[in-house]
Amino acid sequence: MNPSLSRRTLVAGIGAAAAATTAGIALGSPASAADSSPAAKPTIVLVHGGYADSSCWNDTIALLQNRGYTTICAANPLRGIPTDAPYVASLLDSIPGPVVLVAHSMGGTVITNAAAGKSNVKALVYIAAFVPEVGETQGELIGRFPGSEVGPVSVGVPYTKADGTTGIDLYLSKDGQAAFAADISTSAFRVLQATQRPFDAESFIFPTTAAAWKTIPTWGLVAGQDKAIPPACERWMYSRAHARKVVEVPNSSHVVMLSHPRIVADLITDAARVAC
């Protein structure tokens, strides 16, 4: 960098780029008449859950991109509804044209809140995910059906919040494979566990403030051997949301997008074709 480049110049440049995005350039993709035409394919926005980052979607993204879909992974902050939902909602506002919004696990709670009132979101796809009703918490939902084993392999780590108070981040321990990712290789799990992003424990107690699935068509995938969110809970939530299509992967752990990415991509593609 040229040492004579001032901070003011940098800020001005960043501001100009942001203004261009607001004017219709979403993440480097120019808006055009073709993008907004009925024949244009929707943008697929994927939201990860806890103990994960955007890389968990890599195999699914490759399949979707090969089918001609623009894909964006939202970097879910994992701080709970009051932070996560507005963050994802702002990303949705930056995208021209129709959107298919996809979420895994705790990301389901985020999109349920974030998509409310977003006319560009044409479909919600829940991948082994929470689908809460207004007023419900994730803690209530996961406790409604027996079978979750992820709690005992979660490790609480204190951290200091911006206001100086102490929060608790939850990490998946090295012993968490059987509960979270039993159907991927041990080496793949070690990478997942080493690169994970923790989530604030208070995420389980924030009540849902909106239920976008009441007005936006919904698709769901049940992971048949899920030991994080019990499969019975997933089936019940998808049924309550009147999902247009539910696919069950009988032998899948919670991380179905890692172990069965093609099935996940096929369901997303179905939603994109039907809803858009």
Per-residue model confidence (pLDDT) at position 139: 95
Pick the range with the lowest mean pLDDT from 33-37, 47-51, 100-104, 175-179.
Answer: 33-37
Is 8's pLDDT higher than 90? no
Is 65's pLDDT higher than 50? yes
For residues 167-174, give the mean pLDDT: 98
3-state secondary structure of 188: helix
The reply to whether CATH 3.40.50.1820 applies to domain 40-275 is yes
Size of the chain in residues: 276
Per-residue model confidence (pLDDT) at position 39: 58
Q: How far is CA 138 from CA 172, 206, 229, 232, in A?
A: 17, 8, 10, 15
44-61 tens-digit pLDDT: 999 999 999 999 999 999
For residues 80-85, give the mean pLDDT: 97
Per-residue model confidence (pLDDT) at position 231: 98
Per-residue model confidence (pLDDT) at position 226: 98
Is 136's pLDDT higher than 90? yes
Closest CA to 51 of 26, 78, 72, 24: 78
Structural contact between residues 150 and 138, judged by C-beta atoms closer than 8 angstroms: no
192-250 tens-digit pLDDT: 999 999 999 999 999 999 999 999 999 999 999 999 999 999 999 999 999 999 999 99
Per-residue model confidence (pLDDT) at position 144: 95
Single-letter amino acid, residue 80: G
Per-residue model confidence (pLDDT) at position 37: 44
Residue linked to tokens 């701080």:
79
For residues 138-144, give the mean pLDDT: 95
Is 68's pLDDT higher than 80? yes
Cα of 139 vs its chain's centroid, Å: 18
Closest CA to 213 of 179, 245, 178, 240: 240
pLDDT over 90, % of the chain: 85
102-114 tens-digit pLDDT: 999 999 999 999 9
For residues 83-102, give the mean pLDDT: 97
Per-residue model confidence (pLDDT) at position 275: 86
For residues 140-153, give the mean pLDDT: 95
Between helix 261-275 and helix 58-66 the angle, nearest 10°, is 50
Structural contact between residues 62 and 265, judged by C-beta atoms closer than 8 angstroms: no
pLDDT over 70, % of the chain: 86
Q: How far is CA 3 from CA 11, 16, 60, 244, in A?
A: 15, 21, 42, 58
Per-residue model confidence (pLDDT) at position 33: 32
Q: Find the DSSP H helices in 58-185.
A: 58-66, 81-93, 107-114, 138-144, 177-180
Closest CA to 43 of 22, 61, 59, 56: 61
Structural contact between residues 215 and 241, judged by C-beta atoms closer than 8 angstroms: no
Q: What is the pTM of this model?
A: 0.88
Q: Name the DSSP letter for residue 79.
A: S
Rounded to a whole number of angstroms, the distance between the first and last alpha carbons of the chain is 45
Per-residue model confidence (pLDDT) at position 12: 41
Q: Name the DSSP letter for residue 171.
A: E
Per-residue model confidence (pLDDT) at position 40: 83
Indicate the helix (H) or strand (E) that contains 231. helix 231-240
| Rounded Cα gap, residues 6 and 189, in angstroms | 45
Structural contact between residues 138 and 200, judged by C-beta atoms closer than 8 angstroms: no
Report the chain's mean pLDDT, rounded to a whole number: 89
